[in-house]
């Protein structure tokens, strides 16, 4: 049984201000919580139905049994799935390393679903790091966490001044631009940086001049544009996908 104070506290973590103050975030669903339990993330508390608890009797984390109705009240999902966890945010204490790997840079990505999907794409292709502009949507937004389907556990994410980052590296910098060279004319490469811009405005002008290899995905049909995550997936697949 949840107390009113506990209910309000969990609901408050849906707000960015409270997440930042508390250094916590919410993760929901069987798959996501199971992956977190196997990771080095610190789970503060789990709220779960009896169905989940019966299958996780050995869990070392404090577990509070809740009814399906109570789970619905604390969940941000349309269809809550057995379990919700309150998890400590990780503080990135190391700096990104650019040599011998690919890095994705996100400039002002605003849609949580796009951001989460890009993290999943990075994880699928073995990209271990993403650097975001400070105005990119927050990693611990519940919709971002949910959209990653657990991939945020394996991909490091930093927020930083992108101009400073790009000026400090000698890596090839590929930017998704309408006026770029066809991505299909680029060979597969072992290292570099891929810059993906805002969903409607693209890459900021201050960053465009730092891009060494402007690339584009040639249009065949009549669509006005590509979703940012879809564009990222096509570019990454061509550059580093296996034959």
Please give the Cα distance from 158 to 114 (Å, whole number).
17
Q: Name 243's Cβ contacts closer than 8 Å, sequence gap at least 6.
A: none
Cα–Cα nearest to 166, from 123, 122, 133, 129: 133
Please give the Cα distance from 2 to 141 (Å, whole number).
23
Shared domain for 211 and 236, answered yes or no, is: yes
Average pLDDT for residues 52-76, to the nearest whole number? Answer: 87
How many structural domains comprise the chain?
A: 2
Other beta carbons within 10 angstroms of residue 49's beta carbon come to 18
Please give the Cα distance from 214 to 235 (Å, whole number).
12
Shared domain for 157 and 106, answered yes or no, is: yes
Cα–Cα nearest to 99, from 191, 166, 212, 12: 191
Shared domain for 157 and 221, answered yes or no, is: yes
Q: Supply the range of the domain harboring residue 34.
A: 4-88
Confidence label for 37 from pLDDT (cuts 50, 70 and 90): very high
**95 domain-assigned:** no
Average pLDDT for residues 218-234, to the nearest whole number? Answer: 91
Highest mean pLDDT among 22-36, 91-105, 215-229: 22-36
Q: Residue 81: is its pLDDT beyond 60?
A: yes
For residue 208, the model assigns a pLDDT of: 95
Task: Say which residue the tokens 């309408």 belong to.
Answer: 178
Q: List, in sequence order, every beta strand (DSSP E) within the chain.
A: 24-28, 43-48, 63-65, 83-88, 102-106, 129-132, 156-159, 173-182, 192-196, 213-216
Cα–Cα nearest to 234, from 202, 186, 192: 186
Boundary-marking domain end, from 54, 88, 122: 88
Percent of residues in the chain assigned helix, strand, coil, to nearest 5: 35, 20, 40
For residue 60, the model assigns a pLDDT of: 80
- Find the distance separating the first CA and the last CA of the chain, reported in whole Å: 54
Average pLDDT for residues 230-236, to the nearest whole number? Answer: 95
Shared domain for 119 and 225, answered yes or no, is: yes
Shared domain for 113 and 41, answered yes or no, is: no
For residue 108, the model assigns a pLDDT of: 96
For residue 242, the model assigns a pLDDT of: 59
**137 domain-assigned:** yes
Exposure of 128 by Cβ count < 10 A (0-12 exposed, 13-18 middle, 19+ buried)? Answer: middle
Residue 45, domain CATH: 3.30.1330.30
**180 domain-assigned:** yes
Shared domain for 182 and 82, answered yes or no, is: no
Shared domain for 62 and 178, answered yes or no, is: no
Residue 219, domain CATH: 3.40.1280.10
Boundary-marking domain end, from 60, 88, 116: 88
Q: Which region, left, alpha or beta, applies to residue 39 given φ > 0 means left and ψ of -120 to 50 means alpha? A: beta
Shared domain for 35 and 121, answered yes or no, is: no
**94 domain-assigned:** no
Shared domain for 229 and 132, answered yes or no, is: yes
Could you tell me the sign of the dihedral formed by the alpha carbons of 47, 53, 57, 58, in that order? negative
Average pLDDT for residues 224-234, to the nearest whole number? Answer: 91
**96 domain-assigned:** no
Average pLDDT for residues 169-197, to the nearest whole number? Answer: 92
Shared domain for 84 and 115, answered yes or no, is: no
Average pLDDT, the chain: 92
Please give the Cα distance from 174 to 166 (Å, whole number).
11
Tokens of 6: 């506990």
**75 domain-assigned:** yes
Average pLDDT for residues 197-216, to the nearest whole number? Answer: 94
**93 domain-assigned:** no
Q: Residue 148: is its pLDDT beyond 60?
A: yes
Boundary-marking domain end, from 59, 88, 117: 88
Shared domain for 221 and 163, answered yes or no, is: yes
Q: Residue 1: is its pLDDT beyond 80?
A: no
Q: Residue 36: is its pLDDT beyond 90?
A: yes
Question: pLDDT per residue over 83-101, tens digit each?
Answer: 999 999 998 888 899 999 9
Please give the Cα distance from 176 to 213 (Å, whole number).
9
For residue 94, the model assigns a pLDDT of: 86
pLDDT above 90: percentage of residues in the chain: 77
Shared domain for 223 and 112, answered yes or no, is: yes
């Amino acid at each position: 049984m949840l107390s009113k104070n506990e209910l309000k506290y969990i609901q408050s973590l849906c707000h960015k201000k409270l997440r930042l103050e508390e250094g916590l975030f919410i993760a929901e669903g069987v798959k996501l919580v199971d992956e977190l339990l196997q990771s080095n993330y610190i789970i503060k508390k789990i709220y779960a139905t009896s169905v989940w608890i019966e299958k996780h009797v050995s869990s070392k984390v404090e577990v509070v049994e809740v009814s399906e109705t109570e789970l619905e009240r604390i969940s941000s999902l349309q269809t809550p799935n057995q379990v919700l966890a309150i998890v400590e945010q990780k503080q990135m204490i190391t700096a990104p390393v650019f040599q011998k790997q690919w890095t994705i840079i996100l400039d002002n990505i605003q849609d949580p679903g796009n951001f989460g999907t890009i993290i999943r794409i990075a994880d699928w292709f073995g990209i271990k790091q993403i650097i975001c502009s400070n105005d990119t949507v927050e990693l611990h937004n519940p919709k971002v966490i949910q959209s990653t389907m657990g991939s945020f556990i394996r991909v490091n994410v930093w927020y930083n001044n992108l101009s400073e980052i790009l000026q400090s590296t000698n890596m090839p910098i590929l930017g998704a631009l309408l006026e770029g060279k066809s991505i299909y004319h680029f060979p597969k490469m072992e290292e570099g940086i891929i810059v993906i811009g805002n969903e409607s405005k693209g890459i900021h002008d201050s960053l465009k001049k730092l891009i060494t290899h402007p690339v584009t995905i040639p249009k065949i049909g009549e669509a006005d544009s590509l979703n940012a995550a879809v564009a990222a997936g096509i570019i990454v697949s061509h550059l580093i996908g296996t034959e």
